Amino acid sequence: MTSGLPCPTCEGPERRGALERTLRVLAVDDEAPALDDLVYLLKSDPRVAHVEAVTDATKALRTLHRAMDAGQSVDAVFLDIRMPGLDGLDLARVLSRFAQPPPIVFVTAHQEPAVEAFELKALDYLLKPVRPERLAESVHRIVHEVLDSKSSEPVAAAPVDKAPDVGDEVIPVELGGITRFIRLADIRYVEAHGDYARLHTATGSGLVRAALNGLEERWRSAGFVRIHRSHLVSLGHIDELRLEDGHLSVNIGGAVLPVSRRHARQLRQLLVRRNRQPS
């Protein structure tokens, strides 16, 4: 072979064995025929185990958050650029603010946005119609990206009290039929609404389809704590504790939220520990 293009059989035996049928990828394109072709090519690659396909950027964000909630990784996002509403470049900017952003491969019929795409640190840039050998090269780069990230992970565990910096994670929320994006660090408290949760910030609120238990587990390292069966609060946004007639509550930006007895002790301990930490 003289083309010099990476391919599945060109990988070293260690890399082939490590990632054969293990990559999980997300494909995003608003045009069904193009999306079908891309999914077919991805599934034909022996290194790709699972392909999720969606038709717009908002669905892509929801899919990524569902994967995170389930403890699953998405090894790469194959992303069209020109889409109605939130386009591919907009989505890439949102993903870049994730605590661990997935590698992005842009797939487009247009060359013009290439410079901006690589400014967003895209892993690759494919032109439609996508050629199989060119897609194989992108998958090869993903293989190296995944293995290199795994090999660079520290062997020793991080200190228990040191929380990862996840405040820049962004969450898509629904408000009056419009999708907005808010930073995790801006969320003051979360209120249960049946199968949904309402996220409250200083400027408003929005709904996400998620259970409070799942958000509690997922955002614990970001300083969120359960204070009631219906409320999850950010410790950093608590303005004061109130004790009136034997009932404990918290004041967050003027909102007074009840603290159940079963959660009161833990809340006090966490606040004391937080205040003792050096700034």
Secondary structure tally for the chain: helices H, strands E: 8, 15
- Which of 207, 198, 202 has the alpha carbon at shortest distance from 173? 207
Residue holding tokens 């408003």?
A: 204
Rounded average pLDDT over 164-173? 66
Instruction: Round the CA-based radius of gyration of the chain to a whole number and report it.
Output: 22
Rounded average pLDDT over 195-206? 91
pLDDT band at 150 (very low <50, low <70, confident <90, very high): low
Residue 110 has pLDDT above 90, yes or no: no
255 forms beta bridges with 252
d(CA 85, CA 206): 19
Residue 166 has pLDDT above 90, yes or no: no
CA dihedral 109, 113, 118, 123 (to 10 degrees): -20
d(CA 159, CA 247): 35
pLDDT band at 178 (very low <50, low <70, confident <90, very high): confident
Provide the whole-model pTM.
0.60
What single DSSP character describes residue 78? E
23-27, 92-96, 158-162, 164-168: range with highest mean pLDDT? 23-27
pLDDT value of residue 149 = 63
d(CA 70, CA 214): 9
Residue 7 has pLDDT above 70, yes or no: no
**Could you read off the pLDDT of 57-94 as tens digits, one per residue?**
999 999 998 888 888 889 999 999 999 988 999 999 89
Q: Go through the domains of the chain in sequence order and give each one's CATH number.
A: 13-149 (3.40.50.2300), 170-276 (2.40.50.1020)
